[in-house]
A = this chain, B = another copy of it.
Amino acid sequence: MQRVTATILTIGDELLIGQVIDTNGAWLGQVLNSIGVWVSRRVLIGDNETDILQALDEASASSDIIIITGGLGPTKDDLTKGILNEYFGGKLVLHEPSLEIIKGIFEKSNRPMLPVNIQQAEVPDVCTVLLNSRGTAPGMQFERAGKLFFSLPGVPYEMKGLTEQYVLKAIQTKFSLGEVSHRTMTTMGLGESFVAERIADIEDHLPGNIKLAYLPGHQAVRLRLTEVLQSGDSSLIDTYFHQIKERLSEIVVTDQDISLPELIAALLIKFNKRVTTAESCTGGYLAAGLTALSGASAYIHGSVVSYDNAVKENLLKVPASVLKTEGAVSEPVVIQMAKQVRILMHADYSIAVSGILGPTGGTEDKPVGTVWIAVASEREVVTKLCHFRYDRLHNREATTLQALNLLRKLIEAENPLPEFPG
């Protein structure tokens, strides 16, 4: 059986001039992939008839499934419905159930309905209507030459609702799909090319239905195995995943598909520990990353941003003499910051960072990108000196990842662990 492919067609001028970052396409890619549909391309175009028609022709020539989002609003620049109506040779008819929903929405918000809003309930008589309970624009399903076309609103909340309620089912009914599974691990400490070199022989012997992808990022390289199973095949993805994991064991940060803050959160919750941070150059970014996750109150109670030496002295008890002789960006300073903030915040673990992120502030012996990191527990303090060569914000990101990974190692060293957390 050959693979079922989809094109995701996103419509809206705002996407072309970069006003809006398209998240619909990524979300659709994930859910389609999870049911065994391969997204072969994503196309973003403006609210323009010629471009939309051309994209429809290209997509239906190359894909089994075409999912269109956007351009269904009530304003002049929303052309999608009319164009699809012509493209499939239908005529617009009023869809009563959709009209009822629209009326309800306007009653709830006590706003008068305009003619344009009633027109939103009109649909081509050649489509299957996907009733949109979350908004005023009904979804539409068309079929031609064995291919499925879906037109969905661009509002993510509405698009997701229709996809989960109708689109995936319709696809699974129409096509016999293989079963797709992924395994992802994150490594730190080696560049992409070195990781690839290390596992070249394993990669060369992967079966045809398993693909390896490298997802390089700041300080980290993620590896993802994807396996497509047809009925009857037996899965080998775990076997190869573990082979690679073994080969890279000392640089593997996690074998789960989660971010480093998510990993730290999972470890802290698992061992019922709390962390705190004392931040100079990152200025609160570490704490913000740790508190960005729901449920953070379980593992972080507070942090100190000590951007200025006065705060390091007064709140974190760093001796003025040390600041004077060693400088704020030095090992003894981050050690004292880490020790003191852990006590101040009654935490089990602490992270302290002090560095020069740039573009200014560098010196001969401490150039821009010089960062000292310390992580502390009740028992010990571990430090690391880093030299980054990015711009200010990327240096901040790199500092954060290195600090979190240093903390991970300390937590794992001090707590009984299965081979990998999560």
Residue positions of A touching B, CB distance < 8 A? 13-23, 25-31, 33, 38-46, 51, 54-55, 58, 62, 73-77, 105, 108-109, 111, 114, 116-117, 134, 155, 157, 182, 184, 191-194, 196-197, 203, 211-216, 224, 226, 277, 279, 282-288, 290-292, 294-297, 300-308, 310-311, 315, 344-346, 358-360, 387, 389-394, 396
Contact = CB atoms under 8 A, between A and B. Distances in A.
A98 to B, nearest CB: 15
Contacts of A288: 282-285, 287-288
Copy tally for this chain in the complex stands at 2
8 contacts: A15-B42, A16-B29, A21-B22, A282-B291, A284-B291, A284-B303, A297-B307, A301-B308
A114 B193 CA distance: 8
Nearest to A276: B305
Nearest to A117: B193
A18 B22 contact: no
A75 B310 contact: no
B21 A26 contact: yes
Contact of A215 (B19, B105, B308): B19
Nearest to A78: B214
Nearest to A291: B283
B291 A14 contact: no
A344 B182 CA distance: 50
Contacts of A345: 311
Q: Which of A212, A286, A297, A390 has the most CB of B within 10 A?
A: A297
Given A77-B213, A296-B307, 15 more contacts: A17-B213, A18-B26, A19-B30, A20-B26, A21-B23, A22-B22, A41-B43, A73-B192, A114-B194, A116-B193, A134-B390, A279-B284, A297-B308, A301-B310, A304-B305
Contact of A302 (B29, B46, B297, B307): B307
A21 B21 contact: yes
Contacts of A301: 307-308, 310-311
